[in-house]
Amino acid sequence: MTRRRVVSTVLVALAIGVLTGALVMAFHKPAPVPGGSLLWRLELLSYDWRLPRQRVVPGDIVIVAIDKESSDNFQKWPWPRSLHAALLDRISKAGAKAIGLDVVFSEVSSNAESADWREEPEPSPDDRELEEALEASGQVVLAALLQEQESDRGDMESAMTSAQFPYWRFEDAAAGVGIVNFSKDLDDAVRRMHLTYTYQDEREPSFALALLQAAAADASLAQQIDTGPPHPYLPDNTILIDYVGPARTFKTVPYYQALEPDLVPDEFFNDKIVLIGATDPLLQDIHLSPVEGAKGRDMAGVEIQANSLATLLGGKWTRPVPVWVTLLATMLLSVLAAIGTALLRPLRALPMVAAPVAALGVAVPFVLLRSYLIWLPMVAPLAALAISYTAVTVYMYVVEEQTRRAIRAAWQRRVAPEVLDVILKDPELAYVHGRRTVATTLFSDIRGFTMMCDNLEPEEVVEVLNEYLTEMTKVIRKHRGTIHKFIGDGIMAVFGDPMPDDGHADQAVAAALEMHKRLQEMRQSSDSPSIRQMRIGVGIHTGELVAGDIGSAEFMEYTVIGAAVSVASRLETLNKEFNTGIIISEDTKNALEAEYDTEELGFHEIRGIAEPIRVHALVVQHARET
């Protein structure tokens, strides 16, 4: 590939790489954008794949599960609040540091009655028992739920948020209230958590933060936790939950067993943060998590709350890199793939550039997340790499296909099919801006053809000449020669260019001999008087040529020029002087590998050549004129 073509291809590849990187980054966003959700969904899956499979499970967090077995024991949900009161009493007396009850008690129980519908119902005895248990414990955090409701106008901007907070008596008796909502990504998986929520201009803590505050007896913990600056990968100013494992990772006991000291000893709750919540699928508090276990990625809401609390207790969590780092990585991989493909060609670039760079694009983000809790997106860089590689491959294929078509159109009638196949595999053989090469040039001419034409009709001239040139072309192409041009009845052919051939001198001489032989056969078999009396002369010279694309801006053709071409042409005309059929130069004779019967003709001056050259006649049957 010439330097000019290399530079041109690299510049196009660079443009493809930069454009691809920019387009990929434009669609690589957490927010839904037309056509962009797929990239971010893949990024989330790659994030999940890189998460540690199992971490050290905090021993100070346990779960009491409202599971199917407990539902079978206590019959229809909701259970009596006196039952919850008994459990809170039991856990508090066992020495729990804090208790999170992930059940929303927004109203008094259904059996509470009021004398007047306009008045607030009086708490039932069942409610009183729960209130007293909450007050006696002083360590219980209750759940609140925010709900988005679409307005009558049907647009999101006018959507209203309502809330289900605990009944005021329960809220006053509890140690705190936390919002149990989850922030979900495009694929509905819960990877992030809020520290606080805003409701009616008030900051409300999340359930996990409220539990942490209750356990530490410090309501100012939200201000002490450094979440870092807002980041586009973490909408709503959330932080990533560092899951300690899949579902059922935390120590868990069924609700009905937790009520029985004989089944669950006090040590299970002592000095622990206890979360009470539903794991029964019928209670519809099951969500999609980023970690997969034996039963898939489903996880109960109370377990996600436990993971959120564990993240806060650990004091560190996964943080994404700045967006400019992702942009830089994407551009780098995209440009490397594009330029590498352009320089090395697609098949070589795949193992030498694309595959190693892709491996690096996977390994670095993997290690950063697994070992250092740093989230470097990997889908955008890898997608840009793949698209750049493909785009440059397609571009090169289209350009090279156009080149092959142009070469085929220019050369298919000038060289043998096998030579054309070689040229098509290496187009640089055919398209060059200039090179020096050593080859053998052959000129042939029909003796007395001008006078012959005067006695023939134009149609006959064309018919005779085409028949002759067709046969001679077959012979030259058979011996791997390249026909450069027809000069009236003359032929100019070159052996050893554009496809190199060490035996170019022998090929040229063999072609000349067969041209005479084939003409003799035509003379004997033809009905045309013109062909029966046809004679030819051939001149052959071996030397240095200049080959390249020569012409104007409107028309350009590959050809050869130089003294060697002129000498071959002059030798062809010497056949008239010596009454011979084939004359070769001393240089050609010295280059021959085979033995041929020759007759030395001495030194002769060649117009345009300073020194006389020695020439030889090739002695063959039918070579001399009669």
Q: Are 624 and 601 in contact (CB under 8 A)?
A: no
What pLDDT, on a 0 to 100 scale, did the predictor assign at position 625?
40
Which tens digits make up the pLDDT trace of 228-255? 888 888 888 799 999 999 999 999 999 9
What pLDDT, on a 0 to 100 scale, did the predictor assign at position 381?
93
Q: Which residue, 329, 255, 250, is CA-closest to 293?
A: 250
Strand partners, 558: 549
Rounded average pLDDT over 543-571: 81
Per-residue pLDDT band at 90 (split at 50, 70, 90) = very high
Which tens digits make up the pLDDT trace of 435-451? 788 999 999 999 888 77
What pLDDT, on a 0 to 100 scale, did the predictor assign at position 456?
79
Amino acid in position 534: M
What pLDDT, on a 0 to 100 scale, did the predictor assign at position 499?
79
Rounded average pLDDT over 86-99: 95
What pLDDT, on a 0 to 100 scale, did the predictor assign at position 501?
86
Q: Which residue, 274, 242, 309, is CA-closest to 63?
A: 274
Higher pLDDT, 258 or 431: 258
Higher pLDDT, 127 or 294: 127
| Domain extents in the chain | 3-30+321-404, 61-108+123-150+168-318, 431-618
Give start and end residues of each alpha helix (H) in 562-609. Answer: 563-578, 586-591
Which tens digits make up the pLDDT trace of 480-526? 888 888 888 899 999 988 778 899 999 999 999 999 999 999 989 88
What pLDDT, on a 0 to 100 scale, did the predictor assign at position 445?
92
Lowest mean pLDDT among 104-118, 250-264, 348-362: 104-118
Residue 4 has pLDDT above 90, yes or no: no
What DSSP string describes 333-393?
Answer: HHHHHHHHHHHH-HHHHIIIIIHHHHHHHHHHHHHHHHHH-EE---HHHHHHHHHHHHHHH
Amino acid in position 286: I
What DSSP string describes 500-559?
Answer: --TTHHHHHHHHHHHHHHHHHHHHHH---HHHHT--EEEEEEEEEEEEEEEE-SS-EEEE
Rounded average pLDDT over 560-588: 91
Per-residue pLDDT band at 421 (split at 50, 70, 90) = low
Q: Mean pLDDT for the chain?
A: 86
Residue 308 has pLDDT above 90, yes or no: yes
Higher pLDDT, 419 or 385: 385
**431-618: CATH homologous superfamily?**
Nucleotide cyclase, GGDEF domain (3.30.70.1230)
Which tens digits make up the pLDDT trace of 125-165? 999 999 999 999 999 999 999 987 654 443 434 445 789 99
Residue 433 has pLDDT above 70, yes or no: no
Lowest mean pLDDT among 355-369, 541-555, 576-590: 541-555
pLDDT above 90 as % of the chain:
52
Rounded average pLDDT over 351-380: 91
What pLDDT, on a 0 to 100 scale, did the predictor assign at position 539?
94
Per-residue pLDDT band at 533 (split at 50, 70, 90) = confident
Q: Name residues whose C-beta falls within 8 Å of residue 48's C-beta, 6 or more positions apart in sequence.
A: 189, 290, 291, 292
Per-residue pLDDT band at 414 (split at 50, 70, 90) = low
What pLDDT, on a 0 to 100 scale, did the predictor assign at position 44?
93
CB count in 10 Å sphere of residue 202: 8
Rounded average pLDDT over 186-195: 92
Under DSSP, is residue 440 helix (H, G, I), strand (E, B) or coil?
A: strand
- Positive/negative CA dihedral, 214, 215, 220, 223: negative
